[in-house]
């Protein structure tokens, strides 16, 4: 579940990223995969993993989902410390993680829906503007005719 959340984050980051940002995201993705595997295998403490995750996500380019991921990592740090201190069991830790990931996933879906609504509204606005620009115009002419001489008229139109 967590990998899915982070993968969506990475996908959104790379969608509009410069080559330098894409390299940064690729490095982050590699780190995430390796570090998560280490935490699952017990080679890295969960609190260290979540602290590093928070730090690394905070350094990534802005993204609508960035704050949600940072908040999830921040929420999991003290829970991981409780688990590491023996205050909660492994099952309680994993149950709590699952609940937090679920809530985070729901929040990210809401963010994606809001972002899609914004994108749809912007697209509709651009479509309307484009149509207005492309509409043929019926120019209205304002003409002023003045007598310049006994048999001569001068007409100026705008």
Mean pLDDT for each consecutive 10-residue tract of the chain (158 residues)? 52 60 84 93 95 91 82 94 95 94 86 81 74 62 77 78
Query: What is the reported pLDDT for 13?
Result: 47
How many angstroms from the chain centroid is the CA of residue 70?
A: 13
Burial of 53 (0-12, 13-18, 19+ CB in 10 A): buried
Nearest to 68 by CA among 81, 54, 56, 78: 54
- Asked if 46 and 84 touch (Cβ cutoff 8 Å), the reply is yes
Q: Report pTM.
A: 0.60
Query: What is the reported pLDDT for 98?
Result: 94
For residues 25 and 41, what is the distance between their CA atoms, to the nearest angstrom?
A: 24
Query: What is the reported pLDDT for 132?
Result: 66
How many angstroms from the chain centroid is the CA of residue 106?
A: 15
């Amino acid at each position: 579940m967590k990998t899915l959340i982070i993968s969506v984050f990475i996908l959104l980051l790379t969608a509009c990223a410069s080559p330098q940002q894409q390299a940064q995201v690729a490095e982050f993705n590699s780190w995430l995969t390796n570090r998560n595997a280490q935490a699952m295998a017990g080679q890295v403490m969960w609190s260290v993993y979540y602290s590093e995750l928070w730090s690394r996500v905070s350094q990534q380019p802005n993204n609508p989902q960035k704050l949600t991921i940072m908040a999830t990592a921040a929420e999991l740090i003290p829970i991981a410390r409780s688990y590491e201190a023996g205050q909660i069991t492994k099952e309680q830790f994993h149950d709590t993680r699952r609940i937090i990931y679920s809530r985070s996933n729901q929040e990210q879906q809401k963010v994606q829906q809001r972002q899609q609504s914004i994108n749809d509204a912007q697209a509709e606005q651009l479509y309307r503007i484009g149509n207005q620009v492309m509409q043929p115009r019926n120019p209205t002419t304002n003409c002023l005719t003045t007598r310049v001489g006994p048999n001569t008229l001068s007409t100026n139109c705008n």
